[in-house]
Amino acid sequence: MLQQETIQAGGNSNLITRIKDYNQLLKPNLSGMVVFSSVIGYLMAPNISFSWGDIGMWLRVIVLFIGGMMVTGGANTINQILERDSDRLMKRTRTRPLPDGRLGDTEAWIFATVMGVTGAITLAFFFHPLAGLLSFFSLLLYAFVYTPMKKIHPVAVFIGAIPGALPPLIGWVAATGSIDAGGLVLFSLQFFWQFPHFWAIAWVAFDDYANAGIRMLPTREKESRFTAIQCIMYSLVLIPMAMLPNMFGMTGNIGTILSVACGVMYLAASIAFYIRNDHRSARRVMFASFIYLPVVLLALVIDKL
């Protein structure tokens, strides 16, 4: 009896470990933020009316979220498959399931394929074929172009910013069935937001990335202020861009004011990074980026709704 209980406990422990490993492949924190912007894009569409009691709307939002999580999870899994050797060389990634040997490549490929394809089909079937097509294009671009380019040239940041900015456009297309000005405005805001975000993270983790041969900064020298200058330029662009949703009738004055204020905060952090050019100021740009996107997206959609 004791032996059976021990075997059962061991089996449960293995199952829990395997679930945790699959969860790590999905990168739920990153995926959740990405899909959150897709839901915002959906709710920002002019033909979507918000109502707390509209069960149908909430069901569509849930399906959109699940489909988006599957596509993003598939892309993240392929990313980890292709970078498993590099991940072994970095402190923050060496304990992931693939570099640690807890999961095999074949199992991970099957998981990534099922997740990515099923997610794209879900978006195409329940919303619009163009939404499914865009999501699958995003997966391919992120996994098979951005990921290998990270070891070749810093242009990878530009390439990665495209799939990174597609989620709100995908949400918009899921609601409207078309790519138009409103969706492109949301795409642009998220596109330009990513550059200081990426570079601040790359600056903080420079030694880890360099050890793995990953090139993310716009300069080979960490000490150069060129990275901070680039952060200033891209964060500065976000301030006038924050007025575009209002100009296109997508949101009101309050959403615009909050978006501009967040852009000023982002710019101030980038300027401080240029002045000090140290680890602490780079982390402040990183944290400013974490604040900027959710606050702006929520401000825009709440003002619209």
Q: Please tell me whether residues 123 and 212 are part of one structural domain.
A: no
What is the number of other CB atoms lying within 10 angstroms of the CB of residue 111? 20
Note whether 141 and 203 are same-domain residues.
no
pLDDT band at 6 (very low <50, low <70, confident <90, very high): very low
Largest CA distance in the chain: 72
pLDDT score recorded for residue 266: 98
Q: Which residue has the higher pLDDT, 34 or 117?
A: 117
Residue 160 shares a structural domain with residue 261: no
- Tens digit of each residue's pLDDT (9 = 90 or more) over 148-162: 999 999 999 999 999
Last residue of a domain, one of 144, 164, 179: 179
Q: Report CA dihedral (172, 173, 176, 181) to the nearest 10 degrees.
A: 70
Task: Note whether 6 and 110 are same-domain residues.
Answer: yes
pTM: 0.92
| Average confidence (pLDDT) over 102-125 | 95
Answer for the pair 92, 208: CB distance below 8 angstroms, yes or no. yes
Give how many domains the chain has, as a whole number.
Answer: 2
pLDDT of res. 171: 97
Residues 6+ apart with CB under 8 A from 301: 40, 43, 44, 251, 255
Looking at the structure, do residues 273 and 163 belong to the same domain, yes or no?
no
Same domain, 166 and 56: yes
pLDDT, greater one: 254 or 17: 254
Whole-number average pLDDT of the chain? 91
Condensed to tens digits (0 to 9), the pLDDT of residues 90-113 reads 888 888 999 988 889 999 999 999
Same domain as 226, residue 151: no
Kindly state whether residues 295 and 251 are assigned to the same domain: yes
The CATH number linked to 128 is 1.10.357.140
Residues 143 and 246 both lie in one domain = no
d(C-alpha 173, C-alpha 176), whole Å:
5
How far, in Å, CA of 219 to CA of 216, rounded?
8
Sequence length of the chain is: 305
pLDDT of 229-257, one tens digit each? 999 999 999 999 999 999 999 999 999 99
Region 187-200: mean pLDDT is: 96
SS3 133: helix
How remote is the C-alpha of 41 from its chain's centroid?
14
DSSP code per residue over 141-174? HIIIIIHHHTTT-TTHHHHHHHHHHHHHHHHHHH
Supply the pLDDT for residue 36: 94
Give the pLDDT of residue 19: 87
Q: Which pLDDT value is given to residue 45?
A: 95
11 and 131 part of one domain: yes
Domain extent for 9: 1-179
* Among candidate residues 222, 233, 214, the one with its CA nearest the CA of residue 146: 214
Is the predicted pLDDT of residue 80 greater than 80, yes or no? yes
pLDDT score, position 129 = 97
Residues 267 and 137 in one domain: no
Q: What is the model's pLDDT at position 4?
A: 52
Inform me whether the pLDDT recorded for 215 exceeds 90.
no
Q: What is the pLDDT of residues 265-287, one digit of tens each?
A: 999 999 999 999 999 999 999 99
Report how far residue 127's alpha carbon sits from residue 177's, in angstroms, rounded to the nearest whole number.
8
